[in-house]
Chain A
């Protein structure tokens, strides 16, 4: 049950309200379904809609996205072309017009595909609490503070890869999501950051896959070896979308499709 809805004009007021027990509300697409059942405990909300956190800044390679920026705003921003397939793979149009970038960091797997991409992009998350602000890497457990922005550097052209396998083309949760930034030089992988969604209770940074890829050519065989190395990092769940067995079984296929495009 909702007992109060605050709509503060600035972040400081929002921080004070969260410090006194209210819950931060981004687009409401995760929290409101839970509150709409009339059986939830008394809850006070702080909407971030008017707190000045909905903006996208791109300066050279440096991208900063305010936490209350909607997924639709990201989708429509030509400077963030690399994130267009990511956000369009999430939910539906009338949900993306509400759902926010900051909120996606708290979405529970197998949702939260933007968070998977942000881990691959080595994004930093800025949070503000009563004792000041702090910065954490995307993918870390976030304390119950207010996220104000995420920041990352645009990767070199052609190095970002993203594939989401789902049961339907649009508006379906992840079976396996692969996001990666892979740098090659003279036919050899020199650097790789690989993040996975749908295969664990949280976004997985696939260190073993990365280690297996670096130093060799990006071939079907090398990716097969890397996928095998990555199996130990997967902890998939059975849910309405796919079985744990199926997720583990098709992971190598989607890793290959993400990295080779076929």
Chain B
């Protein structure tokens, strides 16, 4: 058995840690880097509570051996807020009561952030597809879909506002 040094950029900061063969990206984030946002739910890739962005794309981090993504760029829920100002998706989840026990929420939010990054104006059906890998046992999904659509609208309005300011 060998231990490898793995380098990752996590939420914009360079990190290095020792990975045993069984160290998954999820375990590295939680146990080596202290980022407890991503959760270990099923460890089967079925529940999505460990979803983080790897090189911009959402992945179930429980299925990724850390050594295979050396040099990668990882984004977790901890990196979304700007100081104490939450991201639009985070704030919309709070305002829309889209979180109850909270276990699925970091994964849901990362899936939503990835969707809005490539599709700023999704339909409800596109939101359903985007979060189809994230299981929530509390909310019944309707408030989550509404919150993501709400966040999309807030982001579009902010972008339009910025455009107007730029032209003034």
Contacts and interface: CB of A to CB of B under 8 A. Distances in A.
A97 B68 contact: no
Nearest to B114: A93
Contacts, number: 99
B65 A94 contact: no
A169 B63 contact: no
Interface SS, B side = mixed
Contacts of B67: 5, 7, 47
Most chain A beta-carbon neighbours within 10 Å: one of B2, B62, B64, B70: B64
B67 to A, nearest CB: 5
Contact of B129 (A2, A27, A49, A93): A93
B65 A2 contact: yes
Interface SS, A side = loop
B80 interface: no
Interface residues of B, number: 34
Nearest to A47: B68
B44 A94 contact: no
Contacts of B43: 33, 36-37
Contact of A93 (B22, B62, B69, B133): B133
A4 B2 contact: yes
Contacts of A72: 57
B149 to A, nearest CB: 17
Given A7-B68, A49-B68, A94 B62 contact: no
Given A88-B129, A169-B128, A93 B58 contact: yes
Contact of A97 (B1, B54, B107): B54
B103 to A, nearest CB: 16
A98 B54 CA distance: 10
A208 interface: no
A3 interface: yes
Interface in B53-112: 54, 57-60, 62-65, 67-70, 107, 111
A180 B57 CA distance: 31
Interface of A: 1-5, 7, 25, 27-29, 32-33, 35-38, 45, 47, 49-50, 72, 88, 91-95, 97-98, 168-171
Interface of B: 1-2, 4, 21-22, 24, 43-46, 48, 51, 54, 57-60, 62-65, 67-70, 107, 111, 114, 128-130, 132-134
5 contacts: A29-B45, A92-B133, A94-B51, A94-B59, A94-B134
- In the A-B complex, the 7 residue pairs with the closest CB atoms: A92-B133, A170-B132, A2-B21, A32-B63, A33-B44, A171-B132, A36-B43
